[in-house]
């Protein structure tokens, strides 16, 4: 059987890599953050380069160097969780139960405002998918949409997995629509004229660059927008004022969720007087993000008593790890089971005061027992491998689904190392989520495609490298003395299979790799490029020094046919 080397990838049903999300997270290094594209995108938004300079100096680890891959099935499961929680929280019995233990301000009617940017944080570990936390002032949405546009792929086939340009524009419009909806839901008939983004010392906030992006977005829609600390607001004559001008809506980024601080006095008074629309508001925090809600969302008996429907209860039981309060009565049992648990404070936010059970010391445990902690069954984060300084580094990641009214608007990943999510890891930070379709993953599982790896040495000799060994080398799970101290051109041909035999070369990946004296794999990441089969080399971004000669291509084809 001859091997067709002239089939364009555009003739296939999909432009995706055609492999699983787990494999791509392990071994795909052909997509990276394009700093020039990011600078251009930020300059386009603000009209100058100041935001890019601010972002790179203020937030050097806010933007991950590689995207994260997630299957469409996993994204659908996340949507099912969000919808189930929304149905649960909309029940009068749930609301009465949740608000009964909340401060009085949480029981104040927000006049129809739902709360913008509810963030649902998921882990995608070996145990499966699990919701680990809900936030009601989730940051990063605007920044994530922008950086997704700046991730450059040297593999054009990957582009079908990323959000489209139309998707970016649609998301920005959905942000505006969301704020307009909050305004009209509050019973206001007049146009939204002026709003304020409020946070404590906003210019010192890590995500201050995102505030500037929001400000420009709102101004592009004809809304005056200020960025201010709560102490800059005043409440007079039943109006909330900023610099003497009345404020219609406050986009609340404070972590003082119940507006209890003295510096929030004006905002608190205006909110309680229904003189301003605040979003997200204290009631949203009490209903969604108070960590005690995680206990109740995993209490099957309580959910049934409150009238939660069977379908929602099934979804919640499957995808929210069991969460219980830490009490003296269960302390010994929790200590014995600590290696499979994660401990977090009821009143904490971000990653403050959280502990993995397997890292817990007796002294810290004694502090936890003083009260105010929850124990949650451990769901491991996902793993994404990146290249840095020619080394493979395993990173952890979680997925944040930004939602409004029970519908997911955008998904983003947070890549990090350590016990908990952070923005201190070199190569880590926010990352775009690239999605594989069910059809592509199903075809991969059914053997419709296969990847064949070959090494070309300086003499032109071609050696086949089993794909399983290649992945083990990439993952740093193995080393090979046979290849120690050598440098090769890497050839990765992605091939359509017909009855178990190679039929069409869909995609060709070339680059330089080397092995150290112990036989450990080291990619030369900047040289790894992909060419669609049939694409003219002169029009692609392939490193010409890594290309096979005509004779080497013949050897590769013969090896493919020989193996089958």
Q: What is the pLDDT of residues 344-391, one digit of tens each?
A: 999 877 667 889 999 899 999 999 999 899 999 999 999 998 877 667
pTM of the entire structure?
Answer: 0.79
Q: Are 106 and 282 in contact (CB under 8 A)?
A: yes
Long-range Cβ contact pairs of 242-247 (< 8 A, separation 24 or more)? 242/194, 242/196, 245/194, 246/194, 247/194, 247/195, 247/196, 247/276
pLDDT > 70 fraction of the chain, expressed in percent and rounded: 85
Residue 51, burial from CB neighbour count under 10 angstroms (0-12, 13-18, 19+): buried
Question: What is the model's pLDDT at position 154?
Answer: 43
For residue 545, the model assigns a pLDDT of: 83
pLDDT exceeds cutoff 60 at 18: no
Report helix angle 165-185 to 208-220, nearest 10: 80
CA gap 384, 396 in Å, rounded: 6
- Above 70 in pLDDT, residue 525? no
Question: Which pLDDT tens digit goes with each residue over 259-311?
Answer: 999 999 999 999 999 999 999 999 999 999 999 999 999 999 999 999 999 99
Contact 471, 504 (CB under 8 A): no
pLDDT band of residue 60 (cuts 50, 70, 90) is confident
Torsion angle of C-alpha atoms 197, 286, 130, 147, degrees rounded to 10: 0
Give the number of C-alpha atoms closer than 13 A to the C-alpha of residue 538, restricted to the C-beta side: 0
Write down the pLDDT at residue 540: 44
Exposed (0-12), middle (13-18) or buried (19+): which is 190, by Cβ within 10 Å?
exposed
> Bigger pLDDT: 555 or 501?
555
23-294+381-436 belongs to which CATH class? alpha beta
Query: What is the spatial distance between Cα 153 and Cα 15, in angstroms, rounded to a whole number?
Result: 13
Mean pLDDT of the region 502-520: 84
Residue 248 C-beta-side C-alpha neighbours within 13 Å: 18
Asked whether the predicted pLDDT for residue 333 surpasses 90, the reply is yes
**Angstrom distance (rounded) from CA 450 to CA 367:** 53
Query: Are the beta carbons of 53 and 39 closer than 8 angstroms?
Result: no
- For the chain, the average pLDDT equals 85
Per-residue confidence band for 157, with pLDDT thresholds at 50, 70 and 90: very low
Torsion of CA 512, 22, 432, 60, to 10 degrees: -60
Q: Is residue 31 within 8 Å of 155, Cβ to Cβ? A: yes
The whole-angstrom separation of Cα 240 and Cα 278 is 11
Residue 507 has pLDDT above 80, yes or no: no
**Residue pLDDT, tens place only, 211-222:** 999 999 999 999
In angstroms, the CA 440 to CA 433 distance is 17
pLDDT digits (tens, 9 = 90+) for 430-458: 988 988 766 666 655 555 777 888 999 98
What's residue 129's pLDDT?
95
Q: What is the pLDDT of residue 443?
A: 57
Most confident of 326-340, 406-420, 458-472: 326-340
**Phi-psi domain of 49 (left: phi exceeds 0; alpha: psi -120 through 50; beta: other):** alpha
| The two three-digit tokens of residue 241, written as one number | 């004022």
Higher-confidence residue of 539 and 323: namely 323
The dihedral sign for the CA sequence 386, 389, 393, 395? negative
Do 478 and 469 form a contact (C-beta atoms < 8 A)? yes
Q: At what angle do helices 208-220 and 50-58 cross, to 10 degrees?
A: 150
Q: Where are the domains of the chain?
A: 9-16+441-563, 23-294+381-436
pLDDT score, position 223: 98
Highest mean pLDDT among 123-137, 256-270, 487-501: 256-270
- Tokens of residue 415, six digits: 């890549």
User: Is pLDDT of 535 > 90?
Assistant: no
As a whole number, mean pLDDT of residues 504-525 equals 82
Whether the bond between 20 and the residue before it is cis, its omega within 30 degrees of 0, is no
Phi, psi of 497 (to 5 degrees): -105, 145
CA distance 407 to 386: 31
């Amino acid at each position: 059987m001859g091997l067709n080397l002239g089939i364009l990838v555009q003739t296939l049903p999909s432009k995706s890599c055609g492999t699983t999300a787990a494999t791509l997270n392990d071994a795909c290094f052909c997509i990276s953050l394009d700093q020039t594209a990011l600078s251009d995108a930020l300059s386009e938004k603000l009209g100058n380069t100041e935001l890019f300079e601010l972002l790179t100096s203020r937030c050097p680890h806010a933007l991950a160097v590689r995207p994260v891959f997630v299957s469409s099935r996993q994204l659908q499961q996340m949507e099912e969780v969000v919808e189930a929680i929304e149905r649960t929280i909309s029940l009068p019995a749930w609301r009465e139960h949740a608000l009964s233990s909340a401060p009085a301000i949480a029981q104040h009617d927000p006049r129809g405002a739902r709360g913008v940017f509810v963030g649902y944080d998921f882990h995608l570990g070996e145990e499966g998918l699990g919701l680990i936390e809900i936030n009601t002032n989730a940051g990063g949405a605007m920044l994530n949409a922008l950086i997704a546009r700046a991730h450059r792929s040297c593999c054009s086939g990957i582009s079908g997995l990323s959000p489209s340009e139309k998707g970016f524009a649609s998301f920005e419009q959905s942000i505006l629509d969301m704020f307009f909806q909050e305004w009209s839901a509050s019973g206001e008939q007049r146009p939204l004229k002026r709003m304020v983004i409020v946070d404590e010392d906003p210019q010192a906030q890590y995500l201050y660059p995102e505030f500037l992006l929001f400000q420009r977005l709102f101004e592009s829609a004809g809304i005056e927008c200020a960025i201010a600390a709560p102490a800059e607001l005043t409440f007079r004559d039943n109006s909330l004022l900023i610099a003497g001008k009345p404020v219609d809506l406050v986009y609340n980024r404070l972590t003082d969720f119940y507006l209890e601080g003295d510096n929030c006095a004006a905002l608190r008074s205006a909110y309680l007087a229904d003189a301003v629309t605040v979003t997200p508001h204290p009631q949203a925090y009490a209903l969604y993000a108070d960590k005690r809600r995680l206990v109740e969302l995993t209490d099957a008996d309580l959910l049934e008593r409150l009238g939660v429907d069977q379908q929602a209860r099934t979804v919640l039981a499957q995808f929210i790890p069991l969460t219980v309060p830490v009490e003296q009565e269960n302390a010994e049992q929790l200590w014995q089971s600590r290696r499979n648990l994660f401990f977090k404070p009821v009143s904490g936010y971000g990653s403050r005061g959280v502990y993995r059970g397997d890292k817990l010391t007796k002294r810290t445990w004694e502090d936890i027992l003083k009260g105010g902690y929850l124990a949650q069954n451990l769901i491991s984060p996902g793993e994404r491998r990146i290249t840095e300084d020619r080394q493979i580094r395993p990173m952890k990641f979680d997925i944040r689904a930004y939602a409004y009214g029970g519908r997911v608007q955008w998904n983003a990943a947070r890549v990090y190392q350590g016990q908990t999510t952070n923005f201190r890891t070199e190569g880590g930070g926010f990352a775009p989520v690239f999605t594989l379709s069910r059809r592509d993953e199903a075809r991969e599982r059914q053997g419709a495609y296969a990847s064949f790896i070959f090494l070309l040495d300086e003499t032109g000799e071609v050696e086949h490298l089993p794909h399983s060994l290649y992945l083990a080398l990439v993952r740093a799970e193995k080393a090979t003395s046979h290849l120690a101290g050598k440098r090769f051109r890497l050839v990765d041909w992605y091939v359509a299979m017909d009855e178990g035999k190679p039929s069409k070369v869909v995609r060709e990946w070339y680059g330089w790799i080397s092995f150290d004296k112990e036989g450990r794999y080291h990619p030369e990441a900047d040289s790894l490029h992909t060419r669609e089969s049939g694409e003219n080399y002169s029009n692609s971004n392939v490193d010409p020094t890594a290309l096979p000669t005509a004779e080497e291509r013949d050897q590769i084809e013969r090896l493919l046919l020989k193996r089958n």
